[in-house]
């Protein structure tokens, strides 16, 4: 099948009600590698239930609509789909437990051409079920590598956030575990691309790759550590582009430029000297 523009723009997502427990918050943090030093009391606050805090980037797994692109009715070649961009806006600190509701919608589809794929823009708002308060707004761009040339609009395109040309003000190296993808998928993204070697090879990778949102979480951890002293209330927003895959077990170095409350950043895999997250922009208090 091919994308039918009007049909996909009207794609109906059910509201996702999710009961969040302390175990969920701890499992998410462990998937990012927090707790690597069990004596680090600041990291312990995110992986131990006594006084537990939620990581700001955990918003990406709340109210998640699942593998909707695998539905044949979308017309998408789901095996060739990659995460292109992600944005997070936090309206309130995330709870460590409670119930949330996620409301998702498609906001745009861009046809880049037959050999260049398509971009699917989505938005998800996450609400506290008990109070109705909006907790987070998430924006995402999916790169559908095998789905261009369906006759849809060729724009508009968002300009990437420019990074300063000077030397970074800060850098933070954080290792990922060889089993990081197998842990992270337990937070809700069960795409076999991140677990099954056969699926990964079919998609053109030498091995299962780390979830892009796990790499994002590692960069968020670096910003939280380096610019917020591990205070999640100071973490306000994050936007970035995914530029290359990370393989579980690699070390992610996040380079940061501080300009007041705005943190520009990018992340590299140290072992291969490859930029994997680019054009990053975060806001901190």
**What confidence tens digit (pLDDT) does each residue in 243-254 have?**
999 999 999 999
Predicted local distance difference test score (pLDDT) of residue 256: 98
Catalytic residue from among 63, 75, 148, 212? 212
The confidence band for 199, taking pLDDT boundaries of 50, 70 and 90, is very high
Q: Per-residue pLDDT tens for 43-90?
A: 999 999 999 999 999 999 999 998 898 899 998 988 788 889 999 999
Q: Compute the mean pLDDT over every residue in the chain, rounded to the nearest whole number.
A: 95
pLDDT at residue 1 tops 80: no
Does the annotation count 37 as an active-site position? no
Span 131-190, pLDDT tens digits: 999 999 999 999 998 888 898 888 888 889 999 999 999 999 999 999 999 999 999 988
Tell me how far apart the alpha carbons of residues 81 and 147 are, in angstroms, rounded to a whole number: 9
pLDDT band at 203 (very low <50, low <70, confident <90, very high): confident
Q: Identify whether 194 is a catalytic site residue.
A: yes
- Which one of the listed residues 189, 220, 223, 252 is annotated catalytic? 189
Q: From the candidates 194, 211, 223, 280, give the one annotated as an active-site residue.
A: 194
Q: Is 41 exposed, middle or buried (0-12, 13-18, 19+ CB in 10 A)?
A: exposed
- The catalytic residue among 209, 223, 252, 263 is 209
Backbone torsion region of residue 151, taken as left when φ is above 0, otherwise alpha when ψ lies between -120 and 50, otherwise beta: left
pLDDT band at 241 (very low <50, low <70, confident <90, very high): very high
- Contact status, residue 212 vs residue 242, Cβ threshold 8 Å: yes
**Percent of the chain at pLDDT exceeding 70:** 100
Average pLDDT in the 108-124 region?
93
> 189 catalytic, yes or no?
yes
- For residue 203, what are its two tokens? 């998609």
Amino acid 217: pLDDT: 98
10 Å Cβ neighbour count for 216?
22
How much is the pLDDT for 252?
98
Query: What's the rounded Cα separation, in Å, for the pair 102 and 241?
Result: 23
- What are the strands, taking DSSP E only, across the chain? 16-20, 81-90, 98-113, 117-128, 134-144, 170-175, 235-242, 251-259, 262-269, 274-284
- Residue 209 among the catalytic residues: yes
Domains of the chain: 5-284 (3.10.129.10)
Mean pLDDT throughout 109-129? 94
Predicted local confidence at residue 125, as pLDDT: 98
Residue 273 has pLDDT above 90, yes or no: yes
């Amino acid at each position: 099948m091919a994308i039918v523009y009007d049909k996909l723009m009207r794609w109906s997502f059910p509201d996702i009600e999710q009961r969040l427990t302390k175990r969920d918050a701890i499992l998410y943090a462990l998937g990012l590698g927090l707790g690597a030093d069990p004596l680090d009391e600041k990291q312990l606050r995110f992986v131990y239930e006594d006084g537990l805090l939620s990581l700001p980037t955990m918003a990406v797994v709340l109210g998640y609509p699942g593998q909707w692109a695998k539905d044949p009715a979308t017309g998408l070649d789901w095996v060739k789909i990659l995460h292109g961009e992600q944005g997070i806006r936090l309206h309130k600190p995330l709870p460590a437990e409670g119930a949330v509701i996620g409301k998702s919608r498609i906001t745009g589809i861009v046809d880049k051409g037959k050999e260049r794929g398509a971009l699917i823009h989505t938005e998800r708002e996450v609400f506290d079920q008990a109070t109705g308060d909006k907790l987070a707004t998430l924006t995402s761009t999916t790169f559908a590598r095998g789905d261009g040339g369906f006759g849809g609009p060729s724009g508009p395109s968002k300009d990437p956030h420019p990074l300063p040309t000077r030397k970074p003000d800060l850098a933070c190296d954080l290792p990922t575990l060889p089993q990081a993808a197998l842990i992270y998928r337990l937070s809700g993204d069960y795409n076999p691309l991140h677990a099954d070697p056969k699926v990964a090879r079919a998609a053109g990778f030498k091995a299962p790759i780390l979830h892009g949102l796990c790499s994002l979480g590692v960069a968020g951890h670096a910003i939280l550590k380096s610019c917020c002293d591990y205070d999640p209330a100071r973490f306000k927003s994050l936007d970035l582009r995914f530029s290359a895959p990370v393989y579980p077990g690699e070390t992610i170095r996040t380079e940061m430029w501080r300009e007041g409350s705005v943190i520009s950043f990018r992340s590299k895999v140290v072992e291969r000297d490859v930029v994997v997250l680019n054009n990053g922009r975060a806001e901190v208090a």
